């Protein structure tokens, strides 16, 4: 393990969502006592004079907050879809996701309802 990653835990499970210039990573990690938590990372590619770099923002989400987080996220997304933008066909973005992946073996439909037991 690299010296600057000593505090990083090995990923148990990972999902990646590409979204234009951003990529979101949903990673499950384990504590020393085999408890699990989720990290959500937003990674943005930034161009600099001599190439590019990645700017990252990370959220740590612990099991006791999973249900509250998912409920708040679903409520917020549904408010935007149903109250603020009811005329937008959000399924067009699912088709765009499929086209961007050129039929690769990734999900062709996105389930917009988060469900954590």
> Whose CA is closest to 37, among 55, 10, 56?
10
For 22-79, write each residue's pLDDT tens digit: 999 999 999 999 899 999 999 998 888 888 888 999 999 999 999 999 999 999 999 9
Range of the domain at 67: 3-100
- In a domain? residue 117: no
pTM over 0.75, yes/no: no
Q: What residue spans of 24-65 are helical by DSSP H? A: none
The domain that holds 81 is classified in CATH as 3.10.450.700
CB 98 within 8 A of CB 110: no
Q: How many domains does the chain have?
A: 1
In a domain? residue 111: no
């Amino acid at each position: 393990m690299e010296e600057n990653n000593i505090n990083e835990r090995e990923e148990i499970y990972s999902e990646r969502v590409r979204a234009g210039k951003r990529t979101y990573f949903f990673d499950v990690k384990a504590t020393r006592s085999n408890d699990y938590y989720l990290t959500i990372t937003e990674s943005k590619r930034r161009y600099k004079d001599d190439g590019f770099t990645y700017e990252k923002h990370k959220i740590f989400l612990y099991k006791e907050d999973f249900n509250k987080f998912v409920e708040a996220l679903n409520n917020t997304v549904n408010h935007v879809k149903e109250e603020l933008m009811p005329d937008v066909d959000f399924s067009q973005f699912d088709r765009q996701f499929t086209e961007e992946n050129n039929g690769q073996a990734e999900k062709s439909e996105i389930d917009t309802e988060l469900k954590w037991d």
